[in-house]
Amino acid sequence: MTQPAAWRLVIAAGGTGGHIYPGIAVARRFLVRYPDTEVLFVGHAGGLEERLLPQEGFRCMTVTVQALQGRSRWAQIRALGALGVGTLQAMRLLRRMRPHLVIGAGGYVMGPVICAAALLRVPRVLMEQNLRPGLTVRSLARYAQCVFTAFADSALHLPGRTTLYTGTPVREDICQVESSALRGAEAPLHLLVFGGSQGAHHINQAMMQAAPWLAAQQPRIRLVHQTGEADCAEVTQAYAHAGLQAEVVPFLHDMAARYRWADLVLCRAGASTLAELTVCGKPAILVPYPYAADDHQRHNALAMQHQGAAQVIFDAELSGARLAEVLEPLLDTPDLLHQQAAQSRALGRPQAAEAIVTACVQLLQTTAEGAL
């Protein structure tokens, strides 16, 4: 195959940072290897992608799409109608750009874009960040040449489909976070708490309940807590009332620096977050979001716990007292954290984006040779 002067890629990703950032990581790895690559992201109107992607230096266009799972019968009918409209819109976009490859990086916006690519016979691949593939990936896998998975066992849930275990692509600055020096028994524990771009209200509540206990542990513990906009003032006030010194912020922009600082992370169990934790080798206390589609965060978190890289507190049992119960032995026995950190690092896949790009280029070469 004669390689084109520049690859043209369409990446469908939307809804959450956990879908968008892996797509960005793959796009940037393509640009490192092939600097003239042209990338277009496709999302849905009003989604995070419309704000985030231009900030990251990428073009984003939108198509009509609605969520299908977990909705009323009438809403599902409307969503199927929107899928038809969105597929026609995506076909127009693809005809104009004439991409060499379409990548479904996550979110239900993949539906119309991958369907359009299949109708136009454009090579297409999917990325699945969760242990158990969601409805969108399960439905679209039959139309894709390959599904790149974050967990080796994900292939068991996609029988008969071509899969490749690559791990979840992580932003380059986070991949470069080095292993932390081992914390001695007398050194303070650096605890990083976050709940995604909007925060996690239940985690915030539990941390406020735990504030008096945390204050009593100072100076053995140092705390950074990302709350989201809605709870920031309340958490700040609760900590001040308890006498707990902490950095409380609504949003964290410098995640690589924050991971570098942290000895332990308390967070939800989204797939991209777990990929970042393992690439950085950070032990964690994971609180799976109980309303995630297909309960995928619980499966992700339990896989981490089974490997000895994290401890899991289910949302229904989360409280200040439960947090204190889990944190206390980690404060008193640094070796426990060191062991979990080593297990976390062993699970990391810092070369995930590179592996996906390599597989995509091989797919394009094979497709082109078969057409000769």
For the domain that residue 215 is a member of, what is the CATH number? 3.40.50.2000
Q: What is the pLDDT of residue 372?
A: 43
- What is the count of structural domains for the chain? 2
Alpha helices in the chain (DSSP H): 17-33, 48-55, 73-97, 110-120, 135-140, 172-175, 201-217, 232-242, 255-261, 271-280, 296-306, 320-332, 334-347, 352-371
Domain region containing 23: 8-169+350-371
> Rounded to whole angstroms, how far apart are CA atoms 143 and 149?
16
Cβ burial of 98 (10 Å; 0-12, 13-18, 19+) is exposed
- 69-83 pLDDT, tens digit per residue, is 656 677 667 767 778
Q: Is 91 part of any domain?
A: yes
- 10-22 pLDDT, tens digit per residue, is 999 998 888 999 9
CA 39 centroid distance within chain: 20
Q: Is 264 part of any domain?
A: yes
Average pLDDT along the chain: 91
343, 361: one domain:
no
Q: What is the pLDDT of residue 72?
A: 66
Q: How many helices (H) and strands (E) does the chain have?
A: 14, 13
Cβ burial of 171 (10 Å; 0-12, 13-18, 19+) is buried
Q: What is the pLDDT of residue 280?
A: 95
341, 359: one domain:
no
187, 140: one domain:
no
The answer to whether 365 and 183 are in contact (CB under 8 A) is no
40, 137: one domain:
yes
**Residue ranges, the chain, pLDDT below 70:** 1-5, 68-72, 75-76, 79, 179-185, 197, 368-372
14, 160: one domain:
yes
54, 125: one domain:
yes
pTM, full prediction: 0.87
> Rounded to whole angstroms, how far apart are CA atoms 357 and 355?
6
